[in-house]
Amino acid sequence: MENTDKKTCKMCYMEIPEKAKKCPYCHQWQNKFSMICFHPLFAMLFFIIPYCILAPLFFESIFYEGEPFSEHKEALKIIDAVMNFGELAGCQQKGKYPTVAIIGKIKNTGDIYWKDVVIEAQIFNKDGKLIDTKQQEQYKFVVLANGESAFKLSFATEFPKEEYNHFKIFIRSAKDLRARF
């Protein structure tokens, strides 16, 4: 006599009661809907789908490079720059070191805040020959949108003070303040 109130588990092939919704041996659901709904991968879809949608937005904001300076370099202009001479006190044996300082303001006529501005000063003698130069990145230096910021380039002189006749100053690069790195 054959027992008809039994069925075979779809996963482990053990005999289980015909009305069983879940196998008592392998704990597998017996109907297709339950097999899909209670599968661990199905539950993970609730996390994977939002992650796939939001992750690119999150990573884009982290690695945003900001506006390129090359497209906005006309917005930054040097105004009121002057060249001053001074002395830096060194060790007692060596005495004082002559220095030159170029002090001025940067005016931003654009709508972008700029940071890490690289300023280059070229100093010429009376004949117009380049005799000294200094390029410096101004860390922690921000030029506000439609604003002005003061700067100072200071360095030791290599020639007598009389050789330093005139100078030109340039802004070589800057980073958008919104850029993360």
Q: Which residue has the tokens 């006529």?
A: 109
- Asked if 156 and 97 touch (Cβ cutoff 8 Å), the reply is yes
Alpha-carbon torsion (35, 37, 43, 47), positive or negative: positive
Give the domains, in start order, of the chain with CATH numbers: 6-62 (no CATH), 69-176 (2.60.40)
Q: Which residue has the tokens 């199905």?
A: 42
Q: Report the predicted TM-score, pTM, of the whole model to 2 decimal places.
A: 0.66
| pLDDT, tens only, 26-74 | 888 888 887 777 778 888 888 999 999 999 888 887 888 889 999 999 9
Predicted local distance difference test score (pLDDT) of residue 94: 67
Q: Which residue has the tokens 């906005």?
A: 72
- Asked if 39 and 150 touch (Cβ cutoff 8 Å), the reply is no
| pLDDT, tens only, 74-128 | 999 999 999 999 988 765 556 678 999 999 999 999 999 999 999 999 999 999 9
